[in-house]
Amino acid sequence: MGCSVNTRMKRPQTTDLPRISQVGEIKVKPEIFVQENQHRFAEVYRLGESLGSGGFGEVRICFHRENGNKRAVKIMRKDLMKNDRKRDDLEKEISILKSMDHPNIVRLYEFFEDTKRLYIVMEYCSGGELFDEIIKRKNFQEIHAAQIMYQLLSAVAYLHNHSVIHRDLKPENILLEDTNDCLNIKLIDFGTAIMSSNKVKDAMGTAYYIAPEVLSGTYNEKCDMWSCGVILYILLSGKPPFDGRDDTEIVNKIRIGKFSMEDEPWTRISNEAKNLINGLLCKSDSRLSAAQCLQHPWITSKARRALATEEIIQEVMRNLTAFHTSNKLRDAVNTFVTSQCLSIQDTRLLREVFRSMDKNGDGKLSREELMEQYVRSIGAADAEIEVNRIMAEVDTDNNGYIDYTEFLKATLDMRKLLSSDNLKAAFRMFDRDGSGSISAAELKKVLEGGLASDDKVWNDLIVQVDQNGDGEIDLQEFQDIILSKL
């Protein structure tokens, strides 16, 4: 263990938090299933090839020993984390990533810790970095650049709505989902991200992409928008707007703020694209927000794509209409499987439907967005009734929106979702001690989500499922209640 590094991850405090006093008050979110795995990493995963290395460790491919799932793991050496600041940054990164539920933000699955290392297990994207694709292509056609920027801006809008500033947006921190499709991206590396709704002072970032206000003093989330402008400039031209022989020269040019869109290939690039870049590479006070960029004419005209047919959209809407949350345990299992067990390929088509319904691109579906879709399909009068029912059933965390995972679990094929392997994985998640049965205490440990609660809540949840009256849930009882009425 490093000399000044704590042994285990800090646990959330429950003081002064809302109290769960009945089963109906349990809020099931994907983040509650992102937990520290008490087993040794090598018992659960087999390591594959290296994807890259840095000052504190490396990122490698890993394979789940039981189901073969291919994932990425960030391995951090504790002896290289010489102070508590780095450890705190790592815990902050985990905390932020846990709470993210967006189709273009990499998903965090679990983390491990032993005496020498920390392991953070995440979604694997086989396409590599956007940076490498830029090197290969030199520059992108406008329609392709717009599709990439739409996804990036949607992710950034989602972050900013949750008071998260990424602070290191660059093509190296944007992954392509797979080698066959360079247009679907995932935002990664939240090591320098910060949660703040106020001005920030400490300078963070990479020279080419850093905003001028970060160099000169206090700044806010608009620093991310400057970085988006630099990325867009590079996508279209293949080179940065502010270049130099070293970081000092680059930073000096950023402070001056002058850049050119006169030479090739800019003569062939639309005025709308240039207008968006000008709206991003400007002073912070007049710089566009992510939400404003998503409504910019260049994005709305170039980034549209119809990968989901009307027939598929109608089928998804029927699934939303039919979705019913019968009990909290089933909802928890559905959420766990949707967020922890499915691959990018399993959800790709549904993600396109989600994107087509998410009119403002903020990464969640509002009541108004659902109404717009259903009014076109079944008329205003019936749509009002249907959308009210959908919101009541699908919005299981009661935040007033249909979040991405809520959408997926309501629209996926339940028989595929609740396969034997997935159910066994869910059972193991709850069976913390590996005894072969789930106790009220184990339900509490998983589902409490850092809040305070009454023991009666978890005993009542057991009673709803426990068929033989022994006060615990065995695998057969677990499968029976989850698969009933399918």
Q: How crowded is the C-beta side of 138, counted as CA atoms within 13 Å?
A: 2
Whether omega before 18 lies within 30 degrees of 0, making that bond cis, reads no
Task: Give the distance, in angstroms, between the CA of residue 266 and the centroid of all CA atoms in the same chain.
Answer: 34
Q: CA–CA separation, 264 vs 138, rounded Å?
A: 12
Read off the tokens for 164. 């998260």
Q: CA–CA separation, 4 vs 116, rounded Å?
A: 13
Q: CA–CA separation, 27 vs 37, rounded Å?
A: 22
* Annotated active-site residue in 101, 168, 189, 431: 168
| CB distance 254 to 242 below 8 Å | yes
Which residues, other chains included, contact 166 with Cβ-Cβ below 8 Å and sequence gap of 6+? 156, 159, 173, 187, 190, 192, 193, 224, 227
Instruction: Please check if 74 is assigned to a binding site.
Output: yes
Burial class (CB in 10 A: 0-12, 13-18, 19+), 47: middle
Angle between helices 271-280 and 222-237 (to 10 degrees): 150
- 3-state SS of 304-315 is CCCCCCHHHHHH
Q: Helix, strand or coil for residue 278?
A: helix
**Length of the chain in residues, anyone?**
486
Q: Kindly calculate the radius of gyration of the chain based on its CA atoms and give it in whole angstroms.
A: 23
| CB distance 166 to 97 below 8 Å | no
Annotation marks residue 474 as catalytic? no
| Binding site members | 74
- Active site positions, annotated: 168
| Binding site members for ATP | 74
